[in-house]
Amino acid sequence: MMISKTSTKFNRIEMRFGLLSLLLVSWAFVQAADNDSIVARKFFSEELLNGKSYEMLDELCNKVGHRLSGSEGAAKAVEWGKKIMEQYKFDRVFLQEVMVPHWVRGEKEVGNIRRASGAKQIKVELCALGGSVGTGKDGIVAEVVEVKSLEELSALGKSNIEGKIVFYNRPLDPTLISTGHAYGGAVDQRRSGASEAAKYGAVGVIVRSMTTKLDDVPHTGALKYDSAVVMIPAAAISTIAANTLSKLLIEEQGVTFYFKMSCETLPDVLSYNVVGEIKGSEKPDEIIVVGGHLDSWDLGQGAHDDGTGCVQAIEAVRLFRALGITPKRTIRAVLFMNEENGIRGGKMYAKLAKDNKENHIAAIESDAGGFTPRGFGIKGDEKQVATIVAWKHIFEDYNMGQLGKGWGGADIGPLIDQGTVLMGFRPDTQRYFDIHHTREDTFEKVHKRELELGAAGMGVMLYLLSEYGL
């Protein structure tokens, strides 16, 4: 077949045009990437020079205090969250009603190990597990049977457990680099241990605290009762107390344990999620959420769990105002209520989003402490994960380049059914479970610069999601 000179000429022109187009696209991509890095630098500089996250946390911890669902502290925290977002002039700030459980600890718990030999009782540091029933005014005293797992409990059976106190003594696996994975591998005994023991006639449960640290600080946390069996009291004992009790059970016969708790569950209370948003300029109907949970346990101040997550969420949105950046998509800071003992705030938020036909394209949660930021875990399809991972180079300048598949968070989890991509903020958590759910979780344990770096990183992630979507 003969090819004309004219045809060849046009082919060459098309090839040159195609090459030029490719170069222009590549140049535009490089320019966009450079611009994103410049904007990221602005977020970090603004936060490190003029950030408000640390002073917000100071106020939340030291003026409001602990914020257990249904408590006076939780109600004050709602007022604080609404006021602070209005102060920072978010476009809209509103509350979402949610009924929450109201469990109270009551008087300080008492516990001791009693030896058959008549030797002096050994006082034990313990605290009631959240949601536990009380022991009655006289407390409970009974022989102790130690187990390391629910399977071991089942193997012992009713004949060896009835009338006794079950002592769950499986420690967190110290060989796991991820402390979250170690926690997940041990927490079943705290969550469902009481009901499992009650099936075999146990009269109470004590659980080794969920930490690798050896100290005398007990860790609380929620349990979940099985409505098909009797509810028996359950408490956590410190790791030192757990080791002491375990040693005595090997060395002596007839060791008993006594504990007294006055905790109880009161009727549900009306509370709220606190929501503040900046409207998107181009696609306002596409919503990106960043949040933490406003409630905390009642033993400390709820600083790392999850005061840091709340102030980082507010700060990530506030930074847009401070930098004069209007997001293309709507961004929302959400302070969820009742993550610790029910996740009712997260469930209600997802329900209202569905009822209102809102389109949440992504949600970020910070609920692993305010320690040095490392990156984000992503829960979405392959394409969505790849889109976010492509931004890795932007975060690597701030040692936050750990982007990959992961878990989002408890509060944002209910959004998964609506096609929302879930993202969990990843700080370095090696110290997190030293203070998690304890009296030690106080403002002084939070490092200002670590907190600010995390807030800035979350702000950058909001910016990229708002600019490019998913």
In DSSP notation, 48-115 reads HHH--HHHHHHHIIIII----TTSHHHHHHHHHHHHHHHHTT-SEEEEEEEEEEEEE--SPPEEEEE-
Catalytic: which of 109, 277, 286, 339?
A: 339
| Strands of 203-320, DSSP E | 204-208, 234-237, 256-260, 264-278, 283-293
The question of whether 339 is a catalytic residue gets the answer: yes
Asked if residues 457 and 398 have their Cβ atoms less than 8 Å apart, the reply is yes
> Under DSSP, is residue 139 helix (H, G, I), strand (E, B) or coil?
coil
> Under DSSP, is residue 227 helix (H, G, I), strand (E, B) or coil?
coil
324-354 per-residue burial string, b: 16 or more CB within 10 A, e: under 16: ebebbbbbbbbbbbbbbbbbbbbbbbbeebe
Quickly list H helices, 115-203.
Answer: 150-161, 179-184, 188-198
Report d(CA 168, CA 221) in Å as an integer.
15
Asked if residues 264 and 130 have their Cβ atoms less than 8 Å apart, the reply is no
Which amino acid, one-letter code, is at 464? L
Asked if residues 279 and 91 have their Cβ atoms less than 8 Å apart, the reply is yes
Asked if residues 55 and 284 have their Cβ atoms less than 8 Å apart, the reply is no
> Under DSSP, is residue 199 helix (H, G, I), strand (E, B) or coil?
coil
Report d(CA 421, CA 413) in Å as an integer.
10
> Under DSSP, is residue 256 helix (H, G, I), strand (E, B) or coil?
strand
The set of residues, in sequence order, having a beta carbon less than 8 Å from that of 437 and lying 6+ positions away, is 210, 219, 220, 221, 297, 299, 305
Residues that are catalytic: 339
